Amino acid sequence: MLRVYILLVFTFFFAHLHASGNITKYINMKYAYLSYSAIFIFAILTIVQAYTDIKQSKDVPDESCCEEDHSDERTKPWYQRWFIYGIFIFPLLTGFFLPIATLDSTIVKSKGFTFKAVETTEKYAVTQYLKPDTSIYYGKEGYDELMDIEKNKYLSKKSVVLKDTDYLKGLETIYKYPGDFLGKTIEFDGFSFKGESVNDRQLFVLRFGIIHCVADSGVFGMLVEFPEAIDIKDDEWIHVKGTLSSEYYQPFKSTIPVLIVEEWEKTKEPKEPYVYRSG
């Protein structure tokens, strides 16, 4: 019956992630149907396994049918069985008893904050910084057409307000066509990260974005420059509004967009700190 209990707990675990809302810490909700499918499959497997175990427990072997001994000929050594069970039990224990950590500047520091998305021409770069890059999901013509549509949409607005729903698309468009957005008013929320800022008036304002799941997450945002020196610690959430400019940023050896801040304020960490790729 141990297999029944393991399958039952897996069913409960995935259902609990959805009920508590913590599933958003692991995957882009665009793919939530996969975890819902897992709940359904685990529930079916639990029922099938329970039925099999109950049926076998009621079967009484007819020892007169033959002289062959069926007692434990297929039974694995106990340590092999428990090793296999342990493979399934371990993720359940970690899932239930270890706290769910929200990605923050500590992860940025440990990964090493660079501008690889701009510096490299590698098509399938895994780690993304500052600039979202979804070109690998489209053909070249389809991607350029999509970006042109997004560019025209944002340029038609008096100011660009990057909300959770279009944060990644908006940033990707700005980084792809920085010259078209120079002088444009832009505002967004994010957590602060000092990084290798070249003076005490600059820092990065970032959000963690999830393309498919947390394994392919990246940290996206922009370098911002305040009118005077500021004392903001890493991981403080702020709202910034200003005019887009650009500068050659020596630590990255790249020219990057910079938001010249006109208004800003500290804000609370949003209920959902991550942003997701949509469309």
pLDDT digits (tens, 9 = 90+) for 238-279: 999 999 999 998 888 888 999 999 999 999 998 888 888 765
Q: pTM score, two decimals?
A: 0.64
| CATH 3.40.640.10 assigned to 105-276 | no
203 Cβ neighbours under 8 A, 6+ residues apart = 192, 193, 194, 195, 197, 223, 224, 230, 232
- How many C-beta atoms surround the C-beta of residue 223 within 10 A? 23
Range in 12-26, 74-88, 122-136, 204-218 with the lowest mean pLDDT: 122-136
pLDDT per position as a tens digit, 149-200: 999 999 999 999 999 989 999 999 999 999 999 999 999 999 999 877 778 8
Q: Can you tell me whether residue 4 is helix, strand or coil? A: helix
Mean pLDDT of 219-223: 91
pLDDT per position as a tens digit, 97-142: 766 666 555 656 555 555 554 444 444 444 567 888 878 777 778 8
Instruction: Break the chain into its structural domains and give their ranges.
Output: 2-97, 105-276
